[in-house]
Chains A and B, each alone.
Chain A
Amino acid sequence: MARSMTSPALLLGYRLYVGAFFVFLAAPLFAAGIFAFNDSLFPALPWQGFTLDWFFNDTEPKLGMFHDRRLLSGLYYSFVIALLVSLLSVFVGTTNAFLFVRREFPFKNALYIVMIVPLVIPGVILGISILVFASNIANAVWDAWEVEISLLRPGIVLVVLGQFSFIATITSLVITARLRKFDTSLEEAALNLGASRARVLFTITLPFLRPAMIAAGIVAFLVSFENFNTTLFLVGSESPLTITMYDRMAKIGSTPVLNAVSFFLMVGSGLLALLSVVAQRPGQPD
């Protein structure tokens, strides 16, 4: 272990630094979560006592998040969007993995770089470019045939496509990495034992990829759920949760119900993230 090289005093200092860093990491999350339980109209000190009102109370002024219709509908839309995005991204991530791991075609290396690029394009720009593109098509169709394609106007479909445009890169990278570890002699062995190509795919290759597909799906779900920048430009009347919360913050200012939502999301994401870690390491060696 490399730690044998450092003096004890230095190591202690190092440990303190690491400790301080984790305090820095935890502090704002802690602040965001803890005030959900403060019996006060403002998310601020002093501590007024413990309450669950910001979750369950059904009357103003302390309307709890589970009775706040706008927040609940935001939660619902976020959920729907995240689900669609993760399904779509895992599908495309899987086909991309097979494409780049198993096949040879011209410009393969260059196209692999192209696949990574969406991850480093600022989300705001993805948002406006897709907005402009969709609007141009919709306008062109209207000018030509007087047909309105509402799917191409800001709304759930555009939000899903906008988020998918960069989340697909994440799922592709995760699933590609797993497929690269696959020993193709397993497929040959299955063929040799008499399986058809389709059977090999469904009984050997996809089960091997499953942990990575689940993990990629969870990551996609979470990234979609928390996305703001891309969504901001594509959102229609069905606002997902981050947009609803932002509006609330901008219009009303911070209220403890936002802390309650934050707490709820942190716990939910934490559990999902844990699930993705568990999914990544089943009891089998790679």
Chain B
Amino acid sequence: MTDQTTAAFDLDCEGVTKNFGTFRAVDGVSFSIPTGTFFSILGPSGCGKTTLMRMIAGFEEPSAGDIRIKGKSVLSVPPNKRNVKMVFQHLALFPMMDVHDNIAYGLRCAGVPKAEIGARVADVLERVALPDLARRQIHQLSGGQKQRIAIARCMALNPDVLLLDEPLGALDLKLREAMKIELKLLQHQFDTTFVYITHDQSEALVMSDYVAVMNAGRFEQIGRPEELYHAPATAFVAGFVGDSNRWSGTARGTEGETVHIETETGLALGGSPRGTAPIAAGTAVEVFVRPEFITVTRATEPAPEAANHHDGTIDSVLFNGANSRVLVRPPAGGLIEADVTLTGGTSDLRAGDAVRLSWDAAQTMVFAA
């Protein structure tokens, strides 16, 4: 997964496992993060991603496996001696100190001389573009400012790796969108490895160089965002990353690259086999088709050439500007989502219209269940 010639990894995990009693929260996770990347760990809540991060920070001890920072194992290093800094979910800025003292805290712990502390705090504030806020109290800051101060507090210590534990979770939608871009820019600016934990796939896709999808204590797939989206390795990744129409069904036979499926709702589909497990006639399968790959044409108009055609009527139109969507009910039952462009003109699709849906076999991802 690295496109760099030097094998410089800021963070390596090897077979990291964590048991809480009989419950295995993290199960043999291995990965390496190249220097200077934005790496996200994406997973539903309870998948073990927070536990994994706490082990990297040193707040939990792995039951098995090894964690290396810049090539050196840190298992025996206590949390306050690791050069891995962490932005907490609720930021954990110290309310009894002002901005300057929050940022200076780590420097003072490190025994940086007094004279130098002032300069370094000013420098890092400059880099997060909040140079005038040094003497503000924490409760006087806006949500976005707090975010940047929390990052500045860590970056003042020049960490090898910065961990971020869903720090955008508490922000409202608008600010969250803005902060996504900002975080990416900050990462470039500091040129430090960021490990970002989130359950929000859009955060992970937008910001990251690499994303690891985690489920039930294991990594399902590590890859670039577009790989995860277009070439998911497992059914879980296909379902978790991006929107899709999803069917359960049975394989009826294969023909070259194409596998023929009959879904439980009775649709006959042609798809392309994905994942590692072999698919033959009789295999139970999960089928995913992303709404943007389905073309909607009126029943009266010619449909494009494609492996899959299904007629139906529009059940409802979900208007959302350029990202509008229709829900189509085929005669067999169930609903199929397809993206459409609505221009506001009289030719727009409406509920009740008869339509034909078309999509390619290559866009129909079939996994053995």
Contact = CB atoms under 8 A, between A and B. Distances in A.
Interface of A: 183, 185-186, 188-197, 199, 203-204, 207-208, 283-285
B195 to A, nearest CB: 13
B80 interface: yes
A193 B106 contact: yes
A284 B98 CA distance: 11
Contacts of B79: 188, 191-192
Contacts of A196: 80, 109
- Which secondary structure dominates where chain B touches chain A? mixed
Q: Which of B79, B94, B153 has the most CB of A within 10 A?
A: B94
Interface stretch (B83-91, B172-180, B215-223): B83-91
A267 to B, nearest CB: 32
List the 9 shortest-distance A-B pairs measured between CB atoms, nearest first. A193-B106, A189-B92, A194-B109, A185-B92, A195-B109, A191-B80, A284-B95, A207-B96, A185-B88
Contact of A193 (B59, B96, B109, B137): B109
A190 to B, nearest CB: 7
Contacts of B72: none
Contacts of B93: 189
Nearest to B79: A191
A186 B86 CA distance: 11
B85 A192 contact: yes
Given A189-B93, A204-B96, A208-B96, 9 more contacts: A183-B92, A188-B59, A192-B57, A194-B80, A194-B110, A196-B80, A196-B109, A204-B94, A283-B139
B353 to A, nearest CB: 52
21 contacts: A185-B88, A185-B89, A186-B92, A188-B57, A188-B88, A188-B92, A190-B105, A191-B80, A193-B105, A193-B153, A193-B154, A194-B80, A194-B81, A194-B109, A195-B80, A197-B80, A207-B96, A208-B96, A284-B95, A284-B96, A284-B138
A192 B96 CA distance: 18
B157 interface: yes
Contacts of A186: 92, 94
Range class of the B interface residue count: 20 to 34
A185 B90 contact: yes
Nearest to B110: A194
Given A207-B96, A283-B137, A285-B139, A189 B88 contact: yes
Interface in B277-299: none
A220 B279 CA distance: 76
Nearest to A189: B92
A195 B107 CA distance: 10
Interface string B285-325: 00000000000000000000000000000000000000000
Contacts of B80: 191-197
A105 B24 CA distance: 25
B51 to A, nearest CB: 14
Interface string B128-149: 0000000001110000000000
Contacts of A191: 59, 79-80
Contacts of B88: 185, 188-189
Contact of B105 (A183, A197, A203, A285): A203
Contacts of A190: 94, 105
Contacts of B57: 188, 192
Nearest to B80: A191
Contacts of A284: 95-96, 137-139
A34 B296 CA distance: 91
A189 B86 contact: yes
Nearest to B92: A189
A193 B85 contact: yes
A216 B137 CA distance: 26
A204 B106 CA distance: 13
Nearest to B165: A185
Q: Which of B59, B80, B81, B110 has the most CB of A within 10 A?
A: B80
Nearest to B87: A189
A191 B59 CA distance: 9
